[in-house]
Structure 1
Amino acid sequence: MLDQISAFLKENPGTKARTIASKLGVDRAELNRLLHDCQDKFEKDSEFRWSLVSAEYRIEFGGSGWLTSGDFERAFSSTSPLTSRHTAVVLVLKDGCKPLLEFVARLLAFCNQLVAVGKVVTLNFEGSKKTLSYLDRVGFFDVLNEAIHVLPGRPNSRLSKTYQGNNDGVIEFRLIDPASPDTNIPSLLQHSFVSCAGGSYSQAAFTVLAELFGNVLDHSDTASPGFACLQFYPRARKIQAVISDNGRGIVGTLAPVVPEKYPHVAQIMASAQHSGVALLTEVFKSGGLSQVDTDGRGIGLKLSRDVAKKFRAKISVRQSDFELRVYHDHNGVQFGHRLNLAHLDGTHICFEFKLDAASKSA
């Protein structure tokens, strides 16, 4: 019967079980059992329509305009290629797209993680060669795993090497090795930030960037390198600084110790819609949550929140299957979130600073 089902779905992908049973003249209960027992061969979508498992998972980003982190997340179905049965993943950036740094950072982490779990990955820029050139300039390909295929061809990273350090509005992608981290990265980011925003924000910038850098190291728990980068957008008058790792993430390392060390937080998590969102929100609100017993640990994100409040900045933290956003409006510090995101390991933090908003509130 498996050969019959496979032949039918090859010609009729996206068919519901009752139709397959009717067309093949087989018992529906037996058919359902086979479909569910052989999910290495058959897959169903959210509307319970069955198809043959494709070897390739294809994702397309953009069209004309800026690509945000929201565009990155919306491009995926509920199944992440990281955990799917697809052996190959193709990611296409369309003509006219302009990826913001936060989008680029998530794309980079995602591609490297796909290769790490054994997927064959292709990045297709054939319709967006300006994007290819931009990514070469900011050092994207210096950090991208060499095993990833790039179309129409992988740049030789000449632009990033030629212009590295020549523009304070760009800090090219820098690797963060958990075993031997470059502790100059926060100062490097701070220098660029202050060059664009002004000296009055020097201490605030360093506080946020150093604490975010430290949190990524504290909660990485992996030998796989992370990265940091910064981009100033003069027309929009904003700066995005990104710090990412590929490990267990803040929630992944904190959650196991919460029941014993922080029972009040465990109660909050138990009654929440999403326990991870609840835990991370408490980290920002209260601070003092740490997986280690050391005075002063666990306050980094709370300090970052306080700076975000003062300067009306935004912080987004991407975890395995959700994102928490911290921002400020006329009612004070607010929290928002996205749930049911495609699986992505690690912690991916973006600090976005609107210069005009900051100058009004300083």
Structure 2
Amino acid sequence: MQKRIIAFLEKSPRTKARAIAAELGLDRGEVNRFLHENTDKFAQDDEYQWSLVAPSCRIEFPGDGWLTAWQFESALIDRAPLTSAYREVVFALRHGGKPMLDFIARLLAFCNQLVIAGKTVTLDFGDSISTLTYLNRVGFFDVLDGSISVLPERPSGDLAREFQGNNQGVIEFRLIDPDNPDENIPKLLRNSFVACADKSYSQAAFTILAELFDNVRDHSATGSPGFACLQFYPKGRKIQAVISDNGLGIVGTLAPVVPVKYPEVARAMASAPHPGVALLKEVFSKGMLSQKDDDGRGIGLKRSGDFAKKFKARISVRQSDFELRIHHDDGAVDFKHRGNLALLQGTHICFEFKLDSNVKSA
């Protein structure tokens, strides 16, 4: 029985005992009893699903070309490091991989949350020293939990402090303290954005970035700090700005109040394939949803979406187990989502702006 169950869980982790018994043609009671008697080999999660107890999990990312949040999420499919039985998680970057800001932000958020969950985390840059140097330059290690091991050696962070503010195309990683957030962060992001694009974008950039910052701050509900950063990519003529928190997230804070305050929205969510996606679409397309009763609340993300539409920008919003992408093209709004992602707490927003070819950037 043991060999058959191990072989099954290697291919199908996070499976309930009754499903294991049904698939293997075994008695459910015997399977359940066997699993509980061998917790050194099998672990059960909060959803009563069983997996093999694995001492470590190594997640490697592709080596050639740009790495985006899409590639990051793909590498974690069926791994779910936060909810798995793995005690140690290793993230490895290969030579030739060039991580973009949205990828880096997901990596940072996962690493810090894994530590909070009591797991041991290692970042292996042995095959990608250039990435290690770049992350040091943008202040990644100043925000990364100090208990995380970095191979071949953890940088001191001096490089980021030495060059901070010297490049208008970079806003190094800045912590967002949920109890005392640095309200200057949106201005720093806006100033960098305008320096790389054009003054005509100043108001739109500030509105978008300030609203995203406010919403991440307001929907955090956690004592764990978030972060913000910006990067300009001259060759691709695009700007990415990321604002993240590690709390309940937009859906996590709004969903509990929707049935009472917004019954029509609650009915639409109940009939939708994914309630969280439906709620987030409502937030960006119509607004006026808020966990608070103050007048004028709940329009921030809608307003950000309107400005993004005007300038054909893209916004991606990562929630607990899904991501919603808001695209704007030819005046139309296009929502795309990806579900069944590895659990990640909080709200992680990436705003991507493609510069027009006639805009002179710094």
Q: Name the residue aligned to 2:257.
A: 257
Where does the alignment leave 5 or more consecutive residues of structure 1 unmatched?
A: 45-49
TM-score (norm 1): 0.89
Q: Name the residue aligned to 1:326.
A: 326
Determine the C-alpha separation between the residues in 1 that align with 2:133 and 2:332. 40
Determine the C-alpha separation between the residues in 2 that align with 1:311 and 1:172. 25
**1:270 maps onto 2:290 in alignment:** no
Q: How does 1:175-324 map to 2 (within 5 A)?
A: 175-324=175-324
Q: Name the residue aligned to 1:78.
A: 78
Determine the C-alpha separation between the residues in 1 that align with 2:80 and 2:120. 15
Contact 1:15/1:51 (CA < 8 Å) preserved in 2? no
Q: What is the identity, as a one-letter code, of the residue corresponding to 2:199?
A: G
Q: Deviations over 1:169-209 (max 9, x none)?
A: 00000000010100000000000000000100000000000
Q: What is the identity, as a one-letter code, of the residue corresponding to 1:323?
A: E
Contact 2:197/2:355 (CA < 8 Å) preserved in 1? yes
Q: Name the residue aligned to 2:120.
A: 120
Residues 358 and 33 of structure 1: CA distance in aligned 2, closer, same or farther (over 3 Å): farther
Q: Name the residue aligned to 1:338.
A: 338
Q: Name the residue aligned to 1:350.
A: 350
Determine the C-alpha separation between the residues in 1 that align with 2:225 and 2:51. 37
Bigger mean CA offset, 53-62 vs 285-294: 53-62
Residues 145 and 28 of structure 1: CA distance in aligned 2, closer, same or farther (over 3 Å): same
Q: What is the identity, as a one-letter code, of the residue corresponding to 1:290?
A: S
Count of matched residue pairs: 344
Contact 1:173/1:227 (CA < 8 Å) preserved in 2? yes
Contact 2:219/2:248 (CA < 8 Å) preserved in 1? yes
Residues 53 and 294 of structure 1: CA distance in aligned 2, closer, same or farther (over 3 Å): same
TM-fit CA distance, 1:142: 0.3
Residues 297 and 65 of structure 1: CA distance in aligned 2, closer, same or farther (over 3 Å): same
Q: Deviations over 1:148-183 (max 9, x none)?
A: 000001001111011100000000000000101000
Q: Name the residue aligned to 1:33.
A: 32
Contact 1:175/1:227 (CA < 8 Å) preserved in 2? yes
Q: What is the identity, as a one-letter code, of the residue corresponding to 1:32?
A: V
Residues 67 and 35 of structure 1: CA distance in aligned 2, closer, same or farther (over 3 Å): farther
Q: Deviations over 1:112-153 (max 9, x none)?
A: 000011000000000000000000000000000000000001
TM-score (norm 2): 0.89
TM-fit CA distance, 1:333: 1.1
Q: Deviations over 1:230-288 (max 9, x none)?
A: 00000000000000000000000000000000001001100100000000000001111
Determine the C-alpha separation between the residues in 1 that align with 2:269 and 2:35. 33
Contact 1:208/1:303 (CA < 8 Å) preserved in 2? yes
Helix, strand or coil at the partner of 1:208? helix
Determine the C-alpha separation between the residues in 1 that align with 2:205 and 2:154. 34
Q: Name the residue aligned to 1:162.
A: 162
Determine the C-alpha separation between the residues in 2 that align with 1:272 and 1:345. 22
Determine the C-alpha separation between the residues in 1 that align with 2:51 and 2:257. 42
Determine the C-alpha separation between the residues in 2 that align with 1:132 and 1:34. 47
TM-fit CA distance, 1:12: 10
